[in-house]
């Protein structure tokens, strides 16, 4: 009963009021206030990896990171015995090779205090400084201190001073034990450090701080020779993490499986062809998991140990799926298409597939309003067709272009055609000003207003056939253009120096434009200029 | 017995690592001769302290040659000799190249030295006035202020206001200050403006990378364990005799030569020694020649070749197509041209590695992440399929990489050679 009473005042409030003011209601204030849970304050013990009273032995370490035994051994020997000084370490390797997990697990095994900050979650220098200082000074952001950091630190000089203080007190508190600073994803610093002061500072942090008992470990996705700096820096000691080999990948994929024999039979079939395309663990796991489900489909009982006969049968069932799966290997399916997955399989099985052609799902797997689709198609046409031919394509009746009379092309014109095709290949889609886009859009849609008025009221409710809506139509369309720009279907280029207006460019691929046009039942090929 | 040995080995390793990571220890070896930079620097600074005059000097040399270490040793000694007559202010170009920041830091350090309260809210003018007043007071009290400017070349960017105000303040009769600039750019004094350079005395000390004999001496100095430490004496004897044998071995001399041929600075050598010491087997506690050899291979990595070994077969295909396009003398090519070449290869050779365009595009992006290829243009106007690209590795490196890749199909090697 009380809920209905609340709803009526809320629906009558205008859009401008904030949520807080519209929901504030004297009778509700007490119930809205939830108790603020107080997290315990941080102590020096929080600097080490918590074990939850479970011992973590060397064997646990090796088995939790398959294929990384030599790298673990290298890091262990470089870190050395307890409280031995450390030259800065630089752990590098391509992505998803287990660098961060290895470093953290090694620190867990050695039970040494460390401060971890990732340059991916701290996206500028100030965030990085804040993060490190909060951890060193054992400060937790909570409601009581207004979620603020421990010290206001804008500049590197303040950071170094505060860090010196903090490190001295931590080292004292730990009775002289060493503290390690781990900086992860260092390659991202190259992008946000345009003035090239942060990277040399980080690499020289040991010298600049001059505090005993600090070790530095850098984890990076790129090797040290890609870090360019004006006056250079002293190189740290490198530790290289190569990509996983096939045997290691196999070991990783066999972990935590209920039916090991079945999984191993699956991997025998599938792993080798997929490894030819990529050996990155994250991509392989997303590609292999749906395939494994398909592999297990014919089996009624998932815990059965397959014999040779079953293996051959399963192989013959899965084989037609492997090739298309290879061509989709990097595709991350959206939620809708995952649900509609069953239907797509049927479509794929029935249509004949040539090896190597890209198969496209006929339907668009995202939703767009009709006017946005028309805008997209207009942008595509504007980018592909030269501006001088607009008049002939889009004449006032909005009809299709008159067919060019086919003449026998001479060799010279064929060469010219090839050269211009090559140019088109290389240069990519052209730019167009906003007025041209709107002109094409109006041409395309004006011819359809009549046909739309005959359709159901529901379909025409997108605003295209609106009578009094000429002015509001234009502002809606301009809003749509800006939303298409932010969705990266149209990019905004620099302004033309003569005219002073910004030029746009369509970045949609041919397939997507065809799909959109097909969903609108728009004859795209008639409007495309063929050289 | 073995437990004692293991404990002793660990202690020895900690001792050696402490020595290697301590620059004061390293550079105190070379300070005995009167010709060394240490003695020259000490003479200059101590004479300006005792004679109560102003001075400025630049320490120049490549990175990792001990400039800051020698300076620290000199200052340590002078602070012991003249305890009340010196105060040291340290600035770093990486942190304090902005004038406001620098003056604030100077004021803060002066306050700490003289036990005054430092106010964070003080403005630039307040701080600089404070600095000038302090310099005058110190001069009247016959106290020398030594300014150490690390990364001096970074202070010389922009308007050089700090340098000018420092050197100008030194011109007055009542001040006693020494400005020591440290830089890895050998032309750091050319970067100074005319008015700053005129106030600067053109003293320069050059720090050079070590000669090969010096490296030998240094290795002995670092690695020989001291006989009067808490380690068991027979272990120390065994360790030291092993070290002397290894250091006299011709093979080690070759290893050190190879190391110093690529980079002959102290820091590179110290990195090498650190790596070698970390290879010490804690069961025996002794160093072997193999330790040094393995250390050399870890220091001398070839990142691009390692990257090529990690590439998948599709990525190798793309790179071979790019190389073939370069051989055909196409000045600029983009992803579309690479795909065209890829298709022609598959049409002519009917290989099994024919993948769709989206898969190849993703492999292309992986190559961009690994920095084996790069965009040749600077703008972001086009999508990545149309921007021109270039290979960042030479054809010979690519060839070597193909040979070292375990799963490289033979056809790629054939395509490389044709």
DSSP structure string for A64-124: HSTT-HHHHHHHHHHH-STT---PPEEEE-STTSSHHHHHHHHHHHHT--EEEEETTTS-S
User: A107 and A254 share a domain?
Assistant: no
Which of A163, A276, A325, A326 to mutate: most B Cβ within 10 Å? A276
Take residue B349 and report the two structure tokens written for it.
Answer: 């050779």
CATH number reported for the structural domain that contains residue A507 in this entry? 1.10.10.10
Q: Tokens 């800006």 correspond to what residue?
A: A482
> A94 and B274: CB-CB below 8 Å?
no
B185/A231 CB distance under 8 A: yes
Residue A229 lies in a domain: yes
B106 three-state secondary structure? helix
b/e B114-123 (16+ beta carbons within 10 angstroms → b)? eeeeeeeebe
| Number of other CB atoms surrounding residue A455 within 10 Å | 10
Report the CATH number at residue A111. Answer: 3.40.50.300
B187-207 tens-digit pLDDT = 888 889 898 988 888 899 999
**Nearest CA among B332, B262, B249 for reference residue B292:** B249
d(CA B312, CA B329): 26
List pLDDT tens digits, range B369-411.
Answer: 888 998 888 766 677 888 888 899 998 999 998 888 888 888 8
Contact A96, A166 (CB under 8 A): no
C-alpha to C-alpha distance for A312 and B201, rounded to whole angstroms: 87
- Which element (helix H / strand E) includes A273? helix A260-277
Q: B301–A95: do the CB atoms touch at under 8 Å?
A: no
**A384 within a domain of the structure (yes/no):** yes
Averaged over A238-251, what is the pLDDT? 90
Report the pLDDT value the prediction gives residue A111, as an integer from 0 to 100.
87
Residue A103 confidence (pLDDT): 93
- Tokens representing A184 are 């992860």
Q: B114: pLDDT confidence band, cut at 50, 70 and 90?
A: confident
Residues A175 and A231 in one domain: yes
What is the distance between the terminal CA atoms of chain B, rounded to a whole angstrom?
65
Mutate to test the interface with A, among B108, B310, B405 (most CBs of A within 10 A): B310
Task: Give the pLDDT mean for A360-372.
Answer: 72
Nearest to A200 among B18, B94, B333 (CB): B94
A123/A253 same-domain check: no
Q: State how far the Cα of B303 lies from the Cα of B301, in Å rounded to an integer.
A: 6
The region of weakest confidence among A89-103, A426-440, A445-459, B310-324 is A445-459
Same domain, A105 and A180: yes
Q: Which of B6, B3, B12 is nearest to B230 (CA)?
A: B12
A283, closest residue in chain B (CA to CA): B362
In a domain, A2, yes or no: no
Chain A residues with CB under 8 Å of B358 CB are 327, 330-331, 358
Range of the domain at A300: 246-328
**A493 vs A83, residue with greater confidence:** A83
Specify the pLDDT at position A528.
81
Please say if the pLDDT value at position B180 is more than 90: yes
Q: Where in chain B is the domain with CATH 3.40.50.300?
A: 31-206
Residue A224 · residue B298 · CB < 8 Å: no
Q: Which residue has the tokens 């053109």?
A: B202
The answer on A290 and A227 residing in a single domain is no
**What average pLDDT does this structure show over B341-349?**
89
- Cβ atoms of A481 and A434 within 8 Å: the answer is yes
A288 and A177, same domain (yes or no): no
Going by their DSSP bridges, the two strands B373-375 and B333-334 should be labelled as unpaired
Q: pLDDT tens, B37-72?
A: 888 999 999 999 888 888 899 999 988 888 898 999
For residue A355, give both structure tokens. 């090896």
Question: What whole-number distance in Å separates Cα of residue A491 and Cα of residue A429?
Answer: 11
Question: B337 to chain A: which residues are within 8 Å by CB?
Answer: 425-426
Interchain CB contact of B17 with A (< 8 Å):
yes
- Using the beta-carbon criterion (under 8 Å), do A235 and B301 form an inter-chain contact? no
The span from the first CA to the last CA of chain A, in angstroms, equals: 70
Q: Is residue A143 part of a domain?
A: yes
Among B301, B382, B383, the residue with its CB nearest the CB of A238 is B301
- How far from A529 is each of A366, B249, B337, CA to CA, in Å? 28, 77, 22
Rounded Cα–Cα distance for residues A100 and A220 (Å): 9
The strand pairing partners of A491, in sequence order, are A505
The neighbour count for residue B406, using CB atoms within 10 Å, is 7
Q: What six digits make up the tokens of A295?
A: 């592999």
Q: Do A276 and B313 touch (CB under 8 A)?
A: yes
Same domain, residue pair A433 and A290: no
How many other C-beta atoms are found inside a 10 Å radius of the C-beta of residue B227?
10
Is the pLDDT confidence value at A454 over 80? no
Residue B45 has what pLDDT? Answer: 92
Given a cut of 50, whether residue A43 has pLDDT beyond it is yes
- A100 and A184 Cβ atoms separated by less than 8 Å: yes
Across the range A82-96, mean pLDDT stands at 90
Looking at the domain assignment, is residue A347 inside a domain?
Answer: no
Tell me if B179 sits within 8 A of B106, measured CB to CB.
no
* Range(s) of chain B covered by CATH 1.10.10.10: 305-417
Task: Characterize the bridge pairing of strands A502-506 and B144-150.
Answer: unpaired
Q: Which helix (H) or strand (E) holds A237?
A: strand A237-240
What pLDDT band is residue A29 in, cutting at 50, 70 and 90?
very low
* B13, B282 contact by CB (below 8 A): yes
Residue A345 has pLDDT above 50, yes or no: no
Element (H, E) at A430: none
Residue A396: strand, helix, or coil? coil
Q: Bridge-partner residues for B204, per DSSP?
A: B58
Instruction: Specify the higher pLDDT residue, A178 or A335.
Output: A178
Residue appearing with tokens 């140019």 = A423
Describe the crossing of helices B2-20 and B233-248 by its angle, rounded to 10 degrees.
50
**How is the beta sheet containing A431-433 ordered, strand by strand?**
A431-433, A502-506, A490-495
Closest CA to B369 of A67, A233, A278, A183: A278
Q: B271–A233: do the CB atoms touch at under 8 Å? A: no
A246 contacts B283 by C-beta, under 8 angstroms: no
* pLDDT value at A72 more than 90: yes
Fold of B305-417: Arc Repressor Mutant, subunit A (1.10.10)
Return the higher-pLDDT residue of B325 and A310: B325
CA distances, A321 to each of A267, A327, A382, A501 (Å)? 14, 10, 39, 50
In the listed set A194, A210, A240, which residue is the last one of a domain according to the structure?
A240
In this prediction the ipTM stands at: 0.91
Classify strands A214-220 and A237-240 as parallel, antiparallel or unpaired.
unpaired
Please indicate whether residue B117 or residue A531 has the higher confidence score (pLDDT).
Answer: B117
Domain total of chain A: 3
Contact call for B63 and A156, based on CB within 8 A: no
CB contact under 8 A, A330 and B358: yes
Which of the pair, B416 or A360, is modelled with greater confidence?
B416
A99's CB contacts (< 8 A; 6+ apart) are: A91, A92, A93, A219, A221, A241
Domain made up of B31-206: CATH architecture:
3-Layer(aba) Sandwich (3.40)
The answer to whether residue B362 neighbours chain A at the CB level (below 8 Å) is yes
What value does the mean pLDDT of chain A take? 77
Residue at a domain's end among A280, A299, A328: A328
Residue A385 lies in a domain: yes
Regarding whether A515 and A374 lie in a shared domain, the answer is: yes
Q: Is the pLDDT of residue A459 over 70?
A: no
Looking at the structure, do residues A281 and A378 belong to the same domain, yes or no? no
Nearest to B138 by CA among B75, B87, B83, B78: B87
Instruction: Give the one of B337, B340, B354 whose C-beta lies nearest to A356's C-beta.
Output: B354
| B242 and A CB contact within 8 Å | no
- Are A432 and A494 a contacting pair, CB within 8 Å? no
Strands B55-60 and B177-183: parallel
Question: How far apart (Å, rounded) are the C-alpha atoms in residues B152 and B154?
Answer: 5
Q: What is the per-residue pLDDT for A472?
A: 53
Based on the fold, state whether residues A151 and A294 are members of the same structural domain.
no
Mark whether A206 and A254 lie in a shared domain. Answer: no
Nearest CA in chain B to A494: B381
Let me know: does B338 contact B320? Beta carbons within 8 Å: no
Q: What is the pLDDT of residue A334?
A: 59
Give yes or no: residues A104 and A218 share one domain.
Answer: yes
Residue B149 has what DSSP assignment? E
- Closest residue on chain A to B367 (Cα): A94
* Residue in A with minimal Cα distance to B360: A277
Return the pLDDT at B293. Answer: 92
**Does the CA dihedral A169-A174-A177-A182 come out positive or negative?**
negative
Task: Report the share of chain A in percent with pLDDT over 90.
Answer: 12
C-alpha pair distances (Å), A147 with each of A140, A142, A152, A430: 8, 5, 13, 49
The C-alpha atoms of residue B384 and residue B369 are separated, in whole angstroms, by: 13
Judge contact between A229 and A196, C-beta under 8 A.
yes
B63 touches chain A (CB under 8 A): yes
- Helix/strand/coil (H/E/C) assignment for every residue in B162-193: HHHHHHHHCCCCCCCEEEEEEECCCCHHHHCC
pLDDT at residue B350, rounded to an integer: 80
Lowest mean pLDDT among A201-210, A291-300, B252-261: A291-300
CA distance B364 to B361: 5
Q: How many H helices and E strands in chain B?
A: 21, 8
**Distance between CA atoms of residues B241 and B253, nearest Å:** 17
Q: How many CB atoms lie within 10 A of CB A501?
A: 11
pLDDT at A473: 63
Kindly state whether B369 is in contact with chain A, defined as any CB-CB distance less than 8 angstroms: yes
List the alpha helices (DSSP H) in B159-287.
161-169, 194-198, 212-223, 233-248, 250-262, 266-278
The residues that bridge with A240 in the sheet, in sequence order, are A92
Q: Which of residues 22-41 of B touch A (CB under 8 A)?
A: 22
């Amino acid at each position: 009963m009380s809920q209905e009473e609340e709803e009526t005042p809320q629906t009558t409030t205008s859009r401008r009021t904030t949520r807080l003011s519209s929901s504030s209601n004297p009778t509700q204030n007490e119930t809205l206030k939830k108790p603020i849970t107080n997290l315990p304050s941080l102590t020096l013990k929080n600097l080490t990896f918590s074990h939850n009273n479970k011992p973590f032995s060397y064997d646990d370490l090796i088995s939790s990171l398959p294929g990384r035994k030599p790298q673990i051994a290298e890091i262990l020997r470089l870190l050395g015995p307890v409280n031995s000084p450390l030259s800065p370490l630089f752990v590098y390797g391509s992505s998803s090779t287990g660098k961060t997990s290895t470093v953290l697990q090694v620190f867990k095994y050695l039970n040494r205090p460390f401060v971890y900050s990732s340059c991916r979650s701290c996206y500028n220098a100030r965030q990085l400084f804040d993060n490190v200082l909060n951890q060193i000074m054992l400060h937790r952001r909570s409601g009581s201190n207004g979620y603020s950091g421990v010290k206001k630190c804008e500049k590197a000089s303040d950071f170094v001073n505060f860090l010196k203080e903090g490190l001295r007190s931590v080292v004292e508190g730990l009775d002289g034990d060493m503290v390690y600073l781990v900086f992860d994803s260092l390659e991202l610093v190259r992008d946000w450090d345009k003035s090239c002061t942060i990277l040399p500072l980080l690499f020289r942090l040991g010298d600049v701080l001059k505090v005993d008992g600090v070790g530095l470990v850098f984890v990076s996705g790129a090797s040290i020779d890609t870090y360019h700096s004006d006056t250079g820096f002293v190189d740290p000691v490198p530790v290289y993490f190569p990509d996983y080999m096939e045997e290691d990948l196999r070991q990783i994929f066999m972990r935590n499986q209920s039916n090991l024999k079945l999984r191993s039979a699956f991997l025998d079939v599938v792993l080798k062809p997929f490894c030819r395309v990529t050996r990155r663990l994250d991509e392989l796991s997303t590609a292999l998991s749906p395939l494994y489900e398909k592999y297990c489909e014919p089996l009624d009982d998932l815990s059965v140990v397959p014999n040779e006969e079953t293996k051959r049968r399963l192989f013959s069932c899965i084989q037609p799926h492997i090739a298309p799966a290879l061509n989709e290997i990097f595709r991350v399916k959206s939620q809708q298409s995952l649900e509609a997955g069953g239907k797509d399989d049927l479509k794929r099985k029935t249509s004949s597939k040539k090896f190597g052609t890209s198969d496209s799902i006929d339907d668009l797997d995202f939703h767009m309003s009709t006017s946005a689709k028309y805008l997209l198609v207009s942008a595509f046409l504007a980018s592909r067709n030269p501006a001088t031919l607009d008049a002939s394509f889009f004449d006032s009746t909005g009809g299709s272009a008159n067919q060019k009379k086919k003449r026998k092309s001479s060799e010279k014109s064929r060469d010219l055609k090839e050269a211009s095709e090559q140019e088109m290949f290389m240069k990519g889609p052209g730019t167009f000003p906003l007025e041209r886009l709107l002109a094409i859009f109006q041409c395309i849609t004006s011819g359809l207003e009549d046909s739309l008025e005959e359709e159901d009221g529901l379909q025409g409710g997108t605003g295209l056939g609106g009578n009094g809506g000429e002015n509001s139509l234009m502002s809606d369309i301009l809003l749509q253009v800006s939303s298409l720009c932010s969705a990266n279907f149209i990019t905004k280029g620099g302004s033309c120096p003569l005219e002073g207006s910004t030029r746009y460019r369509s970045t949609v691929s041919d397939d997507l434009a065809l799909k959109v046009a097909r969903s609108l039942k728009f004859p795209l090929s008639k409007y495309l200029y063929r050289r | 017995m073995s437990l004692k040995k293991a404990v002793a080995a660990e202690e020895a390793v900690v001792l050696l690592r402490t020595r290697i990571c301590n620059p004061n220890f390293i550079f105190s070896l070379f300070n005995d001769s009167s010709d060394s930079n240490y003695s020259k620097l000490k003479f200059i600074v101590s004479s300006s302290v005792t004679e109560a005059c102003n001075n400025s000097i630049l320490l120049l040399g490549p990175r990792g040659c001990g400039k800051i270490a020698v300076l620290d040793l000199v200052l340590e000694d002078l602070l012991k000799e003249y305890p009340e007559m010196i105060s040291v202010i340290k600035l770093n170009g990486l942190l304090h190249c902005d004038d406001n920041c620098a003056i604030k830091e100077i004021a803060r350090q002066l306050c700490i030295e003289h036990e005054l309260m430092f106010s964070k809210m003080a403005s630039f003018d307040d701080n600089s006035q404070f600095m000038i007043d302090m310099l005058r007071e110190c001069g009247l009290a016959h106290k020398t202020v030594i300014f150490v400017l690390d990364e001096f070349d970074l202070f010389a960017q922009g308007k050089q206001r700090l340098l000018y105000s420092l050197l100008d303040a030194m011109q007055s009769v009542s001040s006693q200050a020494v400005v020591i600039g440290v830089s890895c750019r050998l032309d750091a004094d050319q970067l100074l403006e005319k008015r700053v350079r005129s106030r600067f005395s053109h003293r320069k000390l050059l720090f050079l990378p070590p000669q090969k004999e010096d490296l030998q001496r240094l290795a002995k100095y670092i690695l020989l364990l001291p006989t009067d430490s808490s380690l068991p004496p027979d272990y120390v004897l065994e360790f030291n005799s092993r070290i002397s044998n290894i250091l006299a071995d011709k093979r080690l001399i070759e290893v050190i030569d190879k190391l110093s041929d690529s980079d002959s600075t102290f820091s590179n050598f110290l990195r090498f020694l650190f790596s070698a010491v970390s290879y010490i087997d804690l069961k025996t506690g002794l160093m072997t020649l193999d330790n040094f050899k393995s250390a050399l291979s870890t220091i001398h990595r070839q990142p691009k070749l390692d990257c090529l070994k990690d590439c998948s077969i599709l990525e190798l295909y793309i790179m071979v197509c790019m190389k073939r396009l370069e051989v055909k003398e196409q000045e600029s090519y983009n992803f579309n041209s690479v795909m065209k070449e890829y298709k022609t290869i598959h049409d002519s050779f009917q290989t099994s590695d024919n993948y769709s365009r989206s898969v190849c595009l993703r492999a292309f992006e992986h190559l961009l992440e690994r920095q084996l290829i790069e965009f040749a243009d600077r703008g972001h106007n086009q999508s990545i399929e149309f921007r021109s690209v270039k290979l960042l590795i030479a054809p010979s490196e690519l060839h070597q990489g193909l040979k070292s890749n375990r799963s490289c199909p033979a056809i790629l090697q054939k395509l490389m050679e044709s």
